[in-house]
Structure 1
Amino acid sequence: MPSLPPLPFPPSDSPASAAAVVSALRAAGCVFAEEEAELMIATARTEEELTSMVGRRVAGLPLEQVLGWARFHGLRITVEPGVFVPRRRTEFLVDQALAAAPRASVVVDLCCGSGALGAALAAALDGAEVHAADIDPAAVRCARRNLAAFGGRAHRGDLYDALPAGLRGRVDVLTANVPYVPTDEVALLPAEARDHEPLAALDGGADGLDVLRRVAAGASGWLAPGGCLLTETSERQAETAVEVLTRAGLTTRLAVSEELYAHVLIGVLP
Structure 2
Amino acid sequence: MIKRILGVVPVVFGVLLLTFLLVHLVPGDPVEVMLGESAPLADRGRLRAELGLDQPLPAQFGHYLAALAQGDFGRSIHNRKPIADTLRERLPATAALALCALLIAVGLGVPLGIIAALRQGKWPDSLATLASLALSAMPHFWLGPLLMLLFALWLGWLPVSGMGEPGSIVLPALTLGFGLAAILTRMTRASLLEVLNEDFVRTARAKGLSERNVILRHAMRAALLPVVTVVGLQLGSLLAGTVITETVFGWEGIGRLLVESIEKRDYPVTQACVIVIALIYVVVNLLTDLLYARLDPRVRFAA
Q: For the superposition of Structure 1 and Structure 2, which TM-score range results when normalised by the shorter chain?
A: under 0.3
Would you tell me which structure has more helix in proportion to its own residues? 2
Structure with higher RCO (Cα < 8 A, 6+ apart): 2
Larger radius of gyration: 2
TM-score when scaled to structure 2? 0.22
TM-score when scaled to structure 1? 0.24
Would you tell me which structure has more strand in proportion to its own residues? 1
